[in-house]
Amino acid sequence: MMANDTTVPPRLDWIEVAKGIGITFVVLVHSMIPWLNPVTIHLSAFTIPIFFVLGGLTYNNDRHRDDLRSFAVSRGKQFLIPYFCLYIIMMILFVPLSPNIDTAFTPAEMAFWFLYGNGPPLSASHLWFLPVMYFGLMLFVVTDRLMHNLPRYSRVILAVVFPLLAMFVQSLFVPNLVPWRLGGVLIAATFVLFGNMMRHVKGLGAWLSNSKAVDVVLFSLLSILLVILSTLNGFTDIAVDNFGESMWLYVVAGMMGTSAVFIASSAVTYSSRVRNLFMALGKNSQELYEIHPLAFYLVPLAAIALGISVGPLEFVQIFWPLRFILGVIIAFILTRYVIIRYRILSIMFRGSPRIDPPSQTKSSSNG
């Protein structure tokens, strides 16, 4: 796992690799939905939490604590501008597309759920992640500022308060969806909190010890526990307020899976080819996330052209590998060779124009 390159990589490469692994898992799960199987059940337990945890890990408390306004504006550009731009474009495009393509919901439904900030039930747009990431991150940084003069360990109480509030909010709206996914925001803030605690406990260094045997045992133990917990909790999907059987199991499983990915990504950085592959995906993870469902629509069009007719679930079961491959490859090509090369597209998908070419992008950021 550490072959091919004996040169010690920059210490933050593992973060970009972790993002690359995370976005690969996200596309894989999306390519299989609504087919529930061991892959979707186990991966759904931690793929999204990875990005929330990384948000807290890379947040520089000392740098931003006294200027939250600038931080809120910069992250608002990054997450909210793409959310509103892309959602509005989707609503416009679905008007001519919906009569010919199974878009899961009509333009009118999209408009309603856009204003409601959640839904439709069981078929929400993947863009939900952007506002939940933003508001979850901001909830954490505001509470971090308010608790600045308290001992750092006092923030641990938030790891209990946030999930409890999330469960309370859920109970107020069941069986309806929570407006603007407030429950999801509170859980996102919980993972951001854990990520920031990791930063202050062990810094931004790679997640490897001095013993390969210890790393393998720890990775294996975390993976086994993850499988057990995710099996007990079942399939989860924050997009539709589904945290499984227990919100606590979701939080614990999310941290188990994220920690395992951090160990794996740290080990991967020693293999130059694998490192470069996942770093390329990680550096463009936001754009890949936003655009990958577009590639999925190419598969049913090709099936229709070939005269293939199967039910929706059977279609996914048969064609998910093609959906997955196209989702990654086409999204990456569009991102690297189209989106980041045009200012307006870069603003629409990233909230600001890319300054550095992909090959010169820094390994990561301190927040």
Residue 364's identity, in one-letter code, is S
pLDDT at residue 56, as a whole number: 97
End-to-end alpha-carbon separation of the chain, Å?
A: 29
Tokens (6 digits) for 82: 């793409």
> Do 299 and 330 form a contact (C-beta atoms < 8 A)?
no
Q: What is the pLDDT of residues 124-134, one digit of tens each?
A: 889 999 999 99
pLDDT at residue 91, as a whole number: 82
pLDDT at 42 > cutoff 50? yes
For 141-148, what is the mean pLDDT? 94
Q: What is the pLDDT of residues 213-233, one digit of tens each?
A: 999 999 999 999 999 999 999
Which residues, in sequence order, are CB contacts of 301 under 8 Å at separation 6+?
101
pLDDT at residue 303, as a whole number: 83
pLDDT at residue 325, as a whole number: 97
pTM here is 0.91
> Do 268 and 274 form a contact (C-beta atoms < 8 A)?
yes
Q: What are phi and psi of 235, to 5 degrees?
A: -65, 140
Considering only residues 341 and 365, tell me which one the structure prediction assigns the higher pLDDT. 341
* Strand ranges inside 84-214, DSSP E: none
pLDDT at 3 > cutoff 80? no
Q: Where are the domains of the chain?
A: 13-360
Please list the helix, strand and coil fractions of the chain in percent, rounded to the nearest 5, in that order.
75, 0, 25
pLDDT at 103 > cutoff 60? no
